[in-house]
Amino acid sequence: GAVVSQHPSRVICKSGTSVKIECRSLDFQATTMFWYRQFPKKSLMLMATSNEGSKATYEQGVEKDKFLINHASLTLSTLTVTSAHPEDSSFYICSAKRTNSYEQYFGPGTRLTVT
């Protein structure tokens, strides 16, 4: 299967700061990447769809100015959590898909803790 990496795997930051999470497809070009958030014992919730070279599409209830997404190349998408608050603490997971394929390959996730 395809390989997707995420960095960092774990981050602790102070309230009010911003955190950037990178998602990379290592062995294929991903025209579309997805960002999810998962709270403990809950399902993955899609936050946004990231398309290379265009603006991300956000799901209802997700603030685009709070969660900035940039998909500047076919192998890299970034999610920046701006002015983080403790309620933003969660497990953030990205996935990537090949063109014309439905299968999504997931990154290992980033555990964000905001103190």
Which residues contact another protein by CB under 8 A?
Answer: 1, 32, 34, 36, 41-46, 49, 91, 93, 97, 102-104, 106-109, 111
Residue 16: its H or E element: none
Q: 19 or 109: whose CB is closer to another protein?
A: 109
What values do phi and psi take at 67, rounded to 5?
-115, 95
Task: Report the C-alpha gap between 39 and 41 in whole angstroms.
Answer: 6
**Least distance (Å) from another protein to the CB of residue 91?**
8
Q: 59 or 63: whose CB is closer to another protein?
A: 59
**Least distance (Å) from another protein to the CB of residue 83?**
26
**Least distance (Å) from another protein to the CB of residue 102?**
6
Burial grade of 68 (CB within 10 A; 0-12, 13-18, 19 or more): middle
